[in-house]
Structure 1
Amino acid sequence: MVPPIFKRLGIGAVFNALDKSERLYAHHMSRAAWYGARIVFRQVSPEANSIFDLLMELHKSCHGNWYTLLGEGADTDEAKHELRRFLEYAALFLSNMGNYYGQGDQKFIPEVSRQFMDSLTSKSLCAERLAADCLDSMLSPKPGILGYPSSAAQSTYYPNPITGEEVRMVSDTMVQNCIGVENTRIVKYPRADDEMEYTFDILQASVGKDREPRLVGRLEAGVGAHVRLIRGDHSQDLRRVNEALSEAGKYCANEAQRQMLQKLQDSFRSGDLEAYRDAQKIWVKDRSPKVEILFGFIEAYRDPYGTRAEFEGVVSVIDPEGSKALNALVERSQDFIAELPWVKDAAVDGKNGPFESDLFEAPEYTSVHALTYCSSMVYLGINLPNFEDIRQTVGFKNVFIANRDQPLADEELSYEVNAPFVHETERRRFLLHLQRSENQKIAIHELLGHGSGKLLSSASPAGVANFDVQNPPISPLTKRPIVTWYKKGETYNGVFGDLATSIEECRAECVGAYLMFESELLAIFGYTEMSEVKASDLINNLYLHIGVMGLNALRSYDAEINKWTQAHARGHFAMFRVLLAADDFMSLKVNKELKQLRVRIDETKLMSCGRKAIGDLLLHIHIYRCTADVEAARKYYGELTAINDEWLGIRDIVVSHKPKREIFVQGNTILEGDVVHVKEYERSAEGVLQSWADRSTMLNI
């Protein structure tokens, strides 16, 4: 394992700027977030909670002085190196909130021997018992990915073997019964009275429990399976989340926040996602709160079916100064929407054409510092809610996590491990500009990527068609009237299933890359051809970075089951492929003997070839998304992201270059009397473990 990069989510300065009531609100919201930690562990793998307990017990048994666990005579250099590798594994586990990478969904294991682990855990009877529960799973490389249960994959959303078609049928039954899918899991098992038939139990996350399962239907004829709803999944954890939300409610800044927290509690108590949707509507309207929160079962990246979501609890503090440029971008957003491929040639009478909303409702866009980020991955940018009807009728928010954004130190700018696929002569310049270009792209990605587009529906949230069904618009792809659109009750995620998140992330990434050429947009952030870092520097960097990301994406392709395991990665590979095909704009040099890859671009062809190729990809997936044309999307996107033997050989070279993983060290809020302060920790594996040990003790997680 390449030593990870430790980064602290520093919060002290902005937190100290809050008043007493705001700090108390943030403190209790932080506790509510961390009370959901067990839910995240449980959603990642069956063994994750036991591994967490083992790490906490080992920390407790040595009081954080890890080298005492080696014992007298056993503290050799080799043993110390092995302990260091174990501590780095432990920090990686805690940072990813499970034993699968938050980005890529691939399993990681400690690079230590079974003998070492047996010796380490023998110092405590409790540790020995916990090790007996989880050590085999912890040390085994299998199942290697998250996915439908098989010899190669596992998913706690579907604890027992189940097919994608069965998941679809159960999910359809849920929709027919107005049962939301995001906060559920599905368990399949033979019926006790007939082993030839099956029961599918829907486990719904809620504090409340039912005495008996509720029969909600049977699957299609010929399957003969009962579908039952069982409330009470994650019950104990959600009860504690709600208790902390109640305490936070005493310190809300306004009535909207009180109503939002009440709706959140109602949803967690009952499992009803309508209450959660109500909370999201109120949240969108709560503009520029000093303490911003994101709560619930939010992102469906890790569900192989693409609809069931992971719990998240995020508490952050607004950075007014950092928000100024983002707000300026919001104010000019319609100007840049007008430059997108489906708008530029279709706008009439000031309207944006059939595949974009007529009026871009300016959302909120704030820069914040994360105080608490209880999730398997710390995102740089966030755009919520994910419910498309709420986005179209109420609006959405964008959040940029400023303290996650940390550049490399000067001495790291030339290290090959930080950019192994960039030519030696270009590496320092590439790494020097990488943070700025990535930030710029993310700003566009969240606001104008996820924020753009119109889903054409014959039964929109308003109850009527949002286009002329009798005279459908002309598709810019076929030059003929569209023949597909969303029907009553259909959603983007429901129609596109496993493709949904990847296509949407690819679309947003393409918008970011396409609009980077708008000089007035970059000027908002201070980048022109006269600034120290030029606008052209960022554009060059971004397009070279697409090549780097496309290669790195291959890490998230599982060759054993021929499957992409990460939505963003598949999108990056699609962008990489179209640029490689763009008239010699991008080149890839492969040296199999040296296990060397070098990607380069011709900067003279950025506009004529690079942007044009991205624009073409963007137009295709945007129109497919708008018109619910999943069949065409699956063919186009599937061919673009198919991996043949040549790419598998390149993948072997990519994975031979071990990347440095980021590990974020988060602080804890501590309440003394009625005063809240933040305790921060050192940037090290020991710092990560100490932060979680303190958290576990304070909250009894």
Structure 2
Amino acid sequence: MKKRLISMVTALSLLTACGGNPKTTAEAEKFDYTVEQFADLQILRYRVPGFEDLSLKQKELVYYLTEAALQGRDILFDQNGKYNLTIRRMLEAVYTGYKGDKNTPDFKAMEVYLKRVWFSNGIHHHYGSEKFIPGFAPEFFRQAIRSVDAATLPLAEGQSVEQLCEEVFPVIFDPEVMPKRVNQAAGEDLVLTSACNYYEGVTQQEAEDFYNALKNPQDETPVSYGLNSRLVKEDGKVREKVWKVGGLYGQALEKIVYWLKKAEGVAENPGQKAVIAKLVEFYETGDLKTFDEYAILWVKDLNSRIDFVNGFTESYGDPLGMKASWESLVNFKDVEATRRTELISSNAQWFEDHSPVDGQFKKEEVKGVSAKVITAAILAGDLYPATAIGINLPNANWIRSHHGSKSVTIGNITDAYNKAAHGNGFNEEFAYSDAELQLIDRYADVTDELHTDLHECLGHGSGKLLPGVDPDALKAYGSTIEEARADLFGLYYVADPKLVELGLTPSADAYKAQYYTYLMNGLMTQLVRIEPGNNVEEAHMRNRQLIARWVYEKGAAEKVVELVKKDGKTYVVINDYEKVRDLFGRLLAEIQRIKSTGDYAGAHDLVEAYAVKVDSALHAEVLERYKNLNLAPYKGFVNPKYEAVTDANGTITDVTVTYDEGYAEQMLRYGKDYSTLPSVNK
């Protein structure tokens, strides 16, 4: 729950690169950031500037951590749905082994479907979580499956090709079967109506009762119950199947541990070595106290140039916000660009003290806030192909309070978005006038980076829970409220004179670019990511709409923010930027109160009133205007390819990085080299 996903405006209209980017080199000028576009997706590639300058030992460490990252790919597919691995392997078998005409509409539609499954790590949309509608006929797919070598199909022992089709076809083709990966509709059983594979045979009430019985309200250092397990009912009894070596997902975790142990042998220092060893211990035992010990060691490791995330991390994919999807990010520090984030984090106490929230909800002492700009070396699991642009970890409130947190902004990923978005016409279509366009052109690059920094470095780490408040008290609304809290912290402070004083913004008016693009996104442009007739489901989108709609409504009497018509089109107009900031502060105070007190009813009322429903007429207009731009609302990446160079004795003498692998080429290679789990994991 500590991840900043890229917004529509950030994805489509950033024009200037962040610090540490390669834009001044002749090599970078020739670099092709765009790979391909299909459905609602655009595939990009990113560079890893500075990798060549790392020492051999550091390159070797990156290589081993990268291998550990890629070995977890199947875990996420299975977490996202129990049939995902089976369906992916069926599709890949047809894609590579079909002997018929591959230029027919059915085959082309199946190819797009497979590419979407690769992108979303399953059959449900990575962002909206609705199931994809196949553009090919069941009859075609059945015939195609029959035509390929049965040895390439994911057949269970004793299962025939026909039996495989009968089992899986309803999941692919019937819109009523497993329609939502994560259902957030109020009043429904969120566990039974969600297709994610975190629960089996249990109801929402049974799941909540199971974990409530484990919690001790007096425990000030609680483990993250349910983080690394599937909750099942067998023989009438509810129990956990833990993800660990020797347990569920054991085959993949064994491979991950193998590469982590190789990485441990070339760690940069004893602190980093201890972090890796403790993570291995967690994977081998599944013990959540060990996981907390690992998280504390990781957050204290501030001296290593190379860093990584590897494990069960974010809980967006669980409708109850407890169980964590598997992800990995291998990276190294961008020393030059990090000076900005270090300046912010060094003033963390000032920002906390001057926050507009009630004093009882503020931290008396902000501890261990560290922030840096990083260069991603590899994206994996729930950070691939779509990725966040900023991350703040660990998630446990008590660890953040007692030991601090790490915040990162991923510089080379932002740079790739910037390069690919240059001159796409998005701002010209949706910004109200030249005045707003000039603001965006002049300041959007600076203020968007600052908002990400403030969101990650300080927003998630701000405030505190009152004694005895359950960290999971907000249940399904927890992710939306937490992201809104961090966004509002950043929005409130991006306009503060303190940023001008610190030299982080060039002018007192710079914040207006962020305010305008944020409200334009929350009120209008992010709707291009929603199918007609659907509500807003994803936590980050709900957060942005909640903020924008609340400010729009509360400022309506004074026309602080308006939706106006010009030449038959709707635009956002901000008439009073200072009052917008006041409204951001008021909402931040209320959301911090909800978080600090565990006010479930307050969270429910805010989210359901402002974050969920869509204005159908405005939605239709935005979709039509966006369609004419021929842009993709979602973007993701292919990874660089690393190869170890060895001498005659097998000793690594160098690690090379290349960028020429295509999207399908990479996905098929990953399916061959990093496919560790059986199709059905029990």
Q: TM-score range by the shorter chain?
A: 0.7 to 0.9
Letter in 1 for 2:60: L
Asked whether the 8 Å contact 2:225–2:322 carries over to 1, the reply is no
The residue number in structure 1 matching 2:198 is 157
The residue number in structure 1 matching 2:378 is 372
The residue number in structure 2 matching 1:565 is 537
Offset at 1:509?
Answer: 0.5
Q: Deviations over 1:621-660 (max 9, x none)?
A: 10221223333333344433363xx735545555665653
Asked whether the 8 Å contact 2:191–2:199 carries over to 1, the reply is no
Offset at 1:543?
Answer: 3.1
Asked whether the 8 Å contact 2:232–2:241 carries over to 1, the reply is yes
CA distance in 2, matches of 1:140, 1:421: 37
Identify if the C-alpha distance between structure 1 residues 83 and 627 changes in structure 2 by more than 3 Å, giving closer, same or farther: same
The residue number in structure 2 matching 1:305 is 320
Q: Deviations over 1:371-424 (max 9, x none)?
A: 2221334111100000111111111100111122134559853535x7865447
Identify if the C-alpha distance between structure 1 residues 687 and 249 changes in structure 2 by more than 3 Å, giving closer, same or farther: same
Offset at 1:565?
Answer: 2.6
Letter in 2 for 1:187: V
Say which of 599, 605, 610 aligns to 2:576. 605
The residue number in structure 1 matching 2:493 is 515
> RMSD of the alignment, in Å?
3.3
Among the aligned pairs, what percent are the same residue?
Answer: 21
The residue number in structure 1 matching 2:171 is 137
Offset at 1:136?
Answer: 4.7
Say which of 248, 272, 280 aligns to 1:257. 272
The residue number in structure 1 matching 2:120 is 96
Q: Deviations over 1:440-465 (max 9, x none)?
A: 211110112101102221xxxxxxxx
Structure 2 residue matching 1:5: 3-state secondary structure: strand
Q: Deviations over 1:512-534 (max 9, x none)?
A: 111111233256565323xxxxx
**Superposition pairs of residues 71-150 of structure 1, within 5 angstroms:** 71=100, 74=101, 79=104, 86-114=110-138, 117-118=141-142, 121=145, 124-126=148-150, 132=165, 134=168, 136-142=170-176, 143-145=178-180, 146-147=182-183
The alignment of Structure 1 onto Structure 2 pairs a total of residues equal to 599
Structure 2 residue matching 1:380: 3-state secondary structure: strand
The residue number in structure 1 matching 2:615 is 647
TM-score, normalised to structure 2, is: 0.79
Asked whether the 8 Å contact 1:182–1:297 carries over to 2, the reply is yes
CA distance in 2, matches of 1:504, 1:520: 24
Asked whether the 8 Å contact 1:330–1:362 carries over to 2, the reply is no
Asked whether the 8 Å contact 1:383–1:450 carries over to 2, the reply is yes
Structure 2 residue matching 1:317: 3-state secondary structure: strand
The residue number in structure 2 matching 1:626 is 596
The residue number in structure 2 matching 1:194 is none
Please identify, of 100-109 and 259-268, the stretch whose mean Cα deviation from structure 2 is larger: 100-109
The residue number in structure 2 matching 1:221 is none
Structure 2 residue matching 1:600: 3-state secondary structure: strand
The residue number in structure 2 matching 1:484 is none
**Superposition pairs of residues 194-233 of structure 1, within 5 angstroms:** 198-208=236-246, 232-233=247-248
Asked whether the 8 Å contact 1:357–1:453 carries over to 2, the reply is yes
The residue number in structure 1 matching 2:159 is none
The residue number in structure 2 matching 1:215 is none
Asked whether the 8 Å contact 2:333–2:375 carries over to 1, the reply is yes
Identify if the C-alpha distance between structure 1 residues 625 and 129 changes in structure 2 by more than 3 Å, giving closer, same or farther: closer
Letter in 2 for 1:234: Y
* Structure 1 residue 498 corresponds to structure 2 residue 455: no
Which protein has greater RCO, CA pairs closer than 8 Å, 6+ apart? 2
CA distance in 1, matches of 2:402, 2:141: 55
Please identify, of 107-116 and 254-263, the stretch whose mean Cα deviation from structure 2 is larger: 107-116
**Superposition pairs of residues 286-435 of structure 1, within 5 angstroms:** 286-342=301-357, 353-377=359-383, 378-405=387-414, 406-408=416-418, 413-416=423-426, 421-423=430-432, 432=441, 434-435=444-445
Q: Deviations over 1:94-118 (max 9, x none)?
A: 2332232332323334534445545
Identify if the C-alpha distance between structure 1 residues 149 and 389 changes in structure 2 by more than 3 Å, giving closer, same or farther: closer
The residue number in structure 2 matching 1:586 is 561
Offset at 1:612?
Answer: 1.4
CA distance in 2, matches of 1:123, 1:419: 50
* Structure 1 residue 47 corresponds to structure 2 residue 87: no
Say which of 665, 684, 694 aligns to 2:638. 665
* Structure 2 gap ranges (5+): 1-37, 156-163, 184-188, 217-221, 647-651, 677-682
* Structure 1 residue 173 corresponds to structure 2 residue 220: no
CA distance in 2, matches of 1:166, 1:291: 42
Offset at 1:299?
Answer: 0.8
Identify if the C-alpha distance between structure 1 residues 86 and 425 changes in structure 2 by more than 3 Å, giving closer, same or farther: farther
Offset at 1:273?
Answer: 0.7
Identify if the C-alpha distance between structure 1 residues 90 and 16 changes in structure 2 by more than 3 Å, giving closer, same or farther: farther
TM-score, normalised to structure 1, is: 0.77
* Structure 1 residue 34 corresponds to structure 2 residue 70: yes
Asked whether the 8 Å contact 1:47–1:134 carries over to 2, the reply is yes
Offset at 1:357?
Answer: 1.5
CA distance in 1, matches of 2:659, 2:580: 44
The residue number in structure 2 matching 1:528 is 506
Structure 2 residue matching 1:289: 3-state secondary structure: coil
Asked whether the 8 Å contact 2:123–2:131 carries over to 1, the reply is yes
Q: Deviations over 1:247-282 (max 9, x none)?
A: 111111111222222211121111111101101100
Please identify, of 263-272 and 46-55, the stretch whose mean Cα deviation from structure 2 is larger: 46-55
Structure 2 residue matching 1:354: 3-state secondary structure: helix
Asked whether the 8 Å contact 2:242–2:286 carries over to 1, the reply is yes
Asked whether the 8 Å contact 2:331–2:376 carries over to 1, the reply is yes
Asked whether the 8 Å contact 1:414–1:427 carries over to 2, the reply is no
Letter in 1 for 2:549: R
* Structure 1 gap ranges (5+): 62-68, 192-197, 209-231, 344-352, 458-486, 530-534
Identify if the C-alpha distance between structure 1 residues 46 and 680 changes in structure 2 by more than 3 Å, giving closer, same or farther: farther
CA distance in 2, matches of 1:323, 1:339: 24
CA distance in 2, matches of 1:672, 1:694: 19
* Structure 1 residue 243 corresponds to structure 2 residue 258: yes
Asked whether the 8 Å contact 2:309–2:330 carries over to 1, the reply is yes
Please identify, of 647-656 and 103-112, the stretch whose mean Cα deviation from structure 2 is larger: 647-656
